[in-house]
Amino acid sequence: MNDVAKPVQSWKVTLPCTRAEAEALDGDIAAFTMMEQPPVLMTSEATPDDEDAWRLDAYFEGKPSVAAIKLLKTLVPSASRAKPIVEALPDEDWVTLSQQGLEPVTAGRFHVRNIATDPELPDHINLLIEAGRAFGTGQHETTAGCLAMLDRMRRVGMRFAHVADIGTGTGLLAFAALNLWPRAHAIASDIDAVAVEISADNARANGVALGDGPGRLALVTAAGGNHPALIGRAPYDLLIANILAGPLIELAPTLCALVEDGGTIVLAGLLNEQADAVIAAYRTQGMRLAERSDRGEWPTLRLRKRPSIGWKRPRRINAAARGEAPGFGSI
């Protein structure tokens, strides 16, 4: 008997919406952030000669529940009486297909393209992160917020020599850091081995050298920050973590222990209403909030380690805490 599990069937739910509703759906939606596999939402014009007639397509891994469809309808009130079109999709890489129409993202001096045929932007750092299996194409507000924060840090003269990107996803934020501080030693990690593989491919596509040494990026499959490869390179003067609020809080002792006296941590992946809890967790570990920048409902936090804390090996919040993050790379 063949015991190999069949791949999960992908489904699409389509609803009509207005242009205003479509524009309000830019980025990921807070209502779905707690789902293990949140849907990918795409909007497009439904009728070329009617600028207010738009459509919402939601792509799910597995057949969407009645509750998920009801939640989806709350995002587009004009479709409250509309019957959703629910259909199973053929076995294709639907995440890539759904993202092929994404526009390039410009944040600070960075211009991130998702399609190789899109033109580069003059006088910008152009990066190519093609849509695919890992998070972090630049489309999400948290990733764009981190890019803008890193650019702003460079513009005010901040310098870094040892950089870590925890939960790297596609490698984008690590690439950005190396473009800003090209002599830095950098390492990027993700719990997902596929994400690490994709990051390596993206590094080669963007001319980022892999390996050890200044100006090179090391890649490692690691859960959180409590891993020999990450600890062995510590302490870091810049650590980036674009994951989710829960893992950020769980990892606070581990990540702060990896940062040198006076070092900087950039955090993202949290919602406005989660910011106070995240800040409190890092303040307990000797960090102070130096800057906060909001993009919609997604804040990006820059924290600095107080000189009185100094370097120490990672410690955990409690006996049950494993110093690990779930399978989330850069959003």
25 close to 41: Cβ distance less than 8 angstroms:
yes
Q: Which of 271, 231, 226, 248 is nearest to 328 (CA)?
A: 248
Q: Which of 220, 200, 196 is nearest to 210 (CA)?
A: 200
Q: Which helix (H) or strand (E) holds 23?
A: helix 19-24
| 167 labelled binding-site residue | yes
Both tokens assigned to 269: 């992946």
| 296 labelled binding-site residue | no
| 26 labelled binding-site residue | no
238 close to 177: Cβ distance less than 8 angstroms:
yes
Q: Which helix (H) or strand (E) holds 267?
A: strand 259-268
d(CA 218, CA 228): 13
Q: Which helix (H) or strand (E) holds 185?
A: strand 185-190
| 190 labelled binding-site residue | yes
Binding site for S-adenosyl-L-methionine, residues? Answer: 143, 167, 190, 242
Q: Which residues are annotated as a binding site?
A: 143, 167, 190, 242
